[in-house]
A and B are shown apart, each in its own frame.
Chain A
Amino acid sequence: MSLLHLVILAPFILAIFIPLFFKYVKQVHTGWFVLVLPTILFIYLIQLIPTVSGGEPIVESLAWVPSLGINFDVYIDGLALLFALLITGIGALVVLYSIYYLTKKGEALHNFYVYLLMFMGAMLGVVLSGNLMVIYVFWELTSLASSLLIGYWHHREKSRYGAQKSMLITVTGGFSMLASFSLLYVMTGSFNIQEIIAQAGDIATSPLFIPAMLLILLGAFTKSAQFPFHIWLPDAMEAPTPVSAYLHSATMVKAGIYLVARMSPVFAGASEWFWIVSVFGMFTLLWGSFNAVRQTDLKSILAYSTISQLGMIMSLLGLGSAAAFYNYEEVYFTATIAAVFHLINHSTFKGSLFMVAGIVDHETGTRDIRYLGGLMTFMPITFTLSIIGAFSMAGIYPFNGFLSKEMFLTGVLNTLMMTDFNMQSIGFLFVAVAWIASVFTFIYSMIIVFKTFTGKYQPEKLDKKPHEAPIGMLISPIILASLVILFGLFPNQFLSYTLIEPAVQSILPTALPAGEQFYVNIYPWHGWTPELWLTIGVIVVGTIMYLTLTKWQNIYKILRLHKKDPINYIYDGFLDKLVTGSQKITYMQMTGRLNNYLAFMSVFLIAILAYGLIEFDAFALDTSIVGDIPIYFWILAVVTVATTITMPFIQNRIAAIITIGVVGYLLALFFVFFKAPDLALTQLLVETVTTTLFLLCFYHLPELRKEKSKPRFKIANLIISLGVGIGVMIVGISSIAMKAGRPFESISEYFKENAYELAGGKNMVNVILVDFRGVDTMLEILVLAIAGLGVYSLIKLRMNDEGGRLK
């Protein structure tokens, strides 16, 4: 256990105490207690930067379940540290914001902050662990915490729906990751990421390599809301806005990005990786931005925007993996650098935009842009913040979004240089998609700002009179917006050396000869490059399209996208079918009819018996023991068979009971015949009592009716019955045959020899019963006692279904 383990565990430990704070320190908002932790952690992590950016990862290990290869390893390299800083830094800002967003009264703050801390700890666990299984453990915890946060206002139907959706989708991905990690373990014998990376070359030829890759990508895509798994994210907006800002834009949804980046050293050499990651990313980028434009809820716009931006980062990681093919030509590094850079930028501008949306919601009572407008004069600071965030997102100078978007375009354009995969021609498709998506990004960024803050003010549609938010609520977005500008103006001073270079080093560990470090220099002006022309095109076309929005908005109706995301039809339909389908299947078997149950069971018995008999050719017949059978035995056997066969045909209740009695007495005759006098006596006695009991119980029952079932069923029943009977018979005959040839004697010989000498009895059966196997007999008496008591209580105790005693 080291200090670094404590960094991960601290949020969990604090979470335990939160309910106490909430209960006993009522005058202070619980959030203040929470705020301390991410702040301390952030400062602690900041001072690790020099060590980590020096190229040396920090490693600590702690045994957890070593026999399964699960060790709680902490591994901090550039990538891990970058994420950890985002988690704690934005975490602190979000907690601060939430203190003003959620009131002390009426909110279940103890629940809220427990979830939030649980999430923070889990997320730190994901990014700081060096063991795949530990990552998995924390990964599932982030899904859980996220789901609980989405369902925080659980009296709302939509919250519950969103919580369930996010849980189902992300946990599906989680399970697929579990399978993938297990595959990796089988290939490499380790869950330790660095050990796996060391064997990356060896496992690339394994037949399990591609399945492991696909499964891990499924995990990453579900978490990072890549198409078609993105549908949980818009519904996750039911969570309180601080949560959306934190989990569903800045941190958790980037866990998938993290995983792809983290596993790049293992998989990046495969062309499948390149294609899947970049194509899914690109399509998500397009789909998200295109759908964001049709939304009317501010948070929904932001949700789709997040989807789109995540797609962009994902595609950059995919494009960056090209470096692994081309002997790490430097030109392909741009995409990876852009991915890391944009990841940081996105957290800043999207975080602030979510907070702005929260402020608007908080101060006006709605987030619907159809009701909003003209808020500029009421909330000037918020308006300014929204401009900074949205313009950065749209890729306008001098904000940080401009720089990373330029790099993104460079990364995409660079693919045109690739010599494989027909990239010279297909590559243009990438460029086109990137450009179109950028146009839509521009449009929805404008919608966020101008539909909310300019235009006609409609006070009649608002619940309350809008005014500027309290200063506490503004601090966090102001800090984030300042970062947007600072990173935009001085990217190299703040980020390049400290965070981006070490992170890129982690994603492409073998790109440079040992000892060398990446050198990242970001600057806005590259001359009149194609990227710049593309950006200018985006702004021009975007502005025109924004101004003519009403003219072409019908396209969503034509494409049938205006109601809900088409993927949602699949999801809802699937859940619906799942429940109705499982009901159908279940009630097909669970009919409540005993005869159905027994028929299923019998058919199963026949089937596996037949399978076994045929498979092993197990039927054997030993003719030597057919021998002489006395004539009276024949008669006895025939009478027994005949009596038994008449049973189903008897309509008279009493006659049926007598008949079963007769079979019992015939059994006793058999026992006599087989030299079992004790058995015969017992059987006679028991049969008499049973028959009497039968008569007692069934005297009042109605007469047996003729079975009214259709002949078809009767025949089926007959076949099943014959199957069971014949099965029992065949196995019996075969066992007898085997018995004749078995090489050892029965343990009975011992009883025969020793009954008198050791146990002092001449009746061997009795000796066995009371001595050799006395416990059986004792328990047999117990059974009788239980039966007696049971019958007594059954007759005496009669309760109604509500648990009361029946009179």
Chain B
Amino acid sequence: MEILMVVVVGVMFTIATYMVLTKSLLRVILGTVLYSHGAHLLILTMGGLGTGAAPLLSTEGPHSDPLPQALVLTAIVISFGVTAFLLVLAYRTYKQHKTDDLDQLRGSSDE
């Protein structure tokens, strides 16, 4: 099962990379979100999957590994904060520069 999950993560990273290599502001952002998704899934996968019940002591053991879950939770919240900031940054960049084409956001070398 882990291997299947790793494959899913691999696909996510492939697509994420493809998206950030494009020239559209939105696609790049979507790519970064996809990176985070992939990374979160990977942490959980690498901690070991499906070996037990939810990590609640009220349920019967054996329990699945709680630590990766805690890590992922922290990571999700952090990447939410960063993504929110990036979104607004992109919005402002678009508004200011009137373009969402990264080719036009190159800037000239002599500034």
Q: Chain A: residues with CB nearer than 8 A to chain B?
A: 587, 590-595, 598-599, 602, 621, 625-627, 629, 633-634, 637, 640-641, 644-645, 647-648, 653, 656-657, 660, 663-664, 667, 670-671, 674-679, 682-683, 686, 689-690, 693-694, 697-698, 700-702, 704-705, 707, 709, 717-718, 720-722, 724-726, 728-729, 732-733, 735-736, 739, 746-748, 751-752, 755-756, 762-765, 767-769, 773, 776-777, 780, 783-784, 786-788, 790-791, 794-795, 798
Contacts and interface: CB of A to CB of B under 8 A. Distances in A.
Given A598-B21, A690-B80, A794-B85, A704 B26 contact: yes
B87 A697 contact: yes
Nearest to B65: A748
Contact of A591 (B5, B70, B72, B106): B106
Nearest to A726: B10
Contacts of B7: 637, 641, 729
B102 A721 contact: no
23 contacts: A595-B20, A595-B102, A599-B21, A602-B17, A644-B12, A653-B26, A656-B30, A664-B37, A675-B55, A686-B76, A693-B84, A697-B87, A702-B100, A704-B26, A709-B23, A728-B6, A736-B6, A746-B67, A763-B55, A764-B66, A768-B67, A787-B85, A795-B88
A697 B90 contact: yes
A767 B70 CA distance: 9
Given A676-B64, A724-B17, A729 B9 contact: yes
Contacts of B42: 728, 732
A678 B106 contact: no
Interface in B69-97: 69-70, 72-74, 76-78, 80-85, 87-92, 94, 96
Nearest to A606: B17
Interface in B23-59: 23-30, 33-34, 37-38, 40-42, 44-50, 52-58
Given A594-B102, A647-B34, A701-B25, A732 B84 contact: no
A165 B70 CA distance: 62
Contact of A637 (B4, B40, B105): B4
Given A717-B21, A732-B45, A747 B67 contact: yes
Given A625-B2, A648-B22, 9 more contacts: A593-B23, A647-B34, A670-B41, A675-B50, A679-B69, A682-B77, A689-B80, A764-B55, A768-B67
A126 B14 CA distance: 62
Contacts of B109: 587, 590, 592
A186 B85 CA distance: 54
Contact of B3 (A598, A625, A686, A756): A625
Contact of A704 (B24, B66, B73, B92): B24
A667 B15 contact: no
A769 B71 CA distance: 8
B95 to A, nearest CB: 8
Contacts of B21: 595, 598-599, 602, 717, 720-721
B100 A725 contact: no
A739 B80 contact: no
Contacts of A641: 7-8, 11
B20 to A, nearest CB: 5
A752 B68 CA distance: 13
B78 to A, nearest CB: 5
Which of A602, A700, A735, A783: most chain B CB closer than 10 A? A783
Contact of A739 (B34, B44, B46, B61): B46
B26 A701 contact: yes
Contacts of A751: 66-67
A780 B37 CA distance: 18
Which of A751, A752, A755: most chain B CB closer than 10 A? A752
Nearest to A636: B8
A729 B16 CA distance: 14
Contact of A675 (B9, B10, B53, B77): B53
Contact of B22 (A595, A629, A720): A595
A729 B14 CA distance: 10
Given A595-B22, A764-B56, A676 B69 contact: yes
B15 A595 contact: no
Contact of A773 (B9, B45, B70): B70
The 8 lowest CB-CB distance pairs between A and B, nearest first, are A725-B14, A592-B106, A729-B10, A787-B81, A764-B66, A768-B70, A721-B17, A721-B18
A709 B70 CA distance: 42
B103 A762 contact: no
Nearest to A686: B80
Given A644-B12, A718-B18, A752 B85 contact: no
Contacts of B76: 679, 682-683, 686
B24 A707 contact: yes
Contacts of B41: 667, 670
A733 B3 contact: yes
Contact of B67 (A592, A627, A725, A748): A748
B26 to A, nearest CB: 6
Nearest to A586: B109
B63 A752 contact: yes
Contacts of A675: 50, 52-55, 63-64
Contacts of B24: 704-705, 707
B50 to A, nearest CB: 7
A784 B70 CA distance: 17
A787 B82 contact: yes
A736 B18 CA distance: 26
B10 A725 contact: yes
Contacts of B23: 593, 595, 707, 709
A690 B25 CA distance: 16
A375 to B, nearest CB: 52
B70 A598 contact: no
B99 to A, nearest CB: 9
Contacts of A709: 23
Nearest to B22: A707
B92 A795 contact: yes
B29 to A, nearest CB: 8
A698 B13 contact: no
A657 B106 CA distance: 25
Contacts of B28: 594
Which of B6, B67, B108: most chain A CB closer than 10 A? B67
A728 B37 CA distance: 14
Contacts of B53: 675
A659 to B, nearest CB: 8
Contacts of A725: 10-15, 17
B92 to A, nearest CB: 6
A671 B70 CA distance: 12
B1 A769 contact: no
Contacts of B74: 769, 773, 776-777, 780
A678 B57 contact: no
A694 B103 CA distance: 22
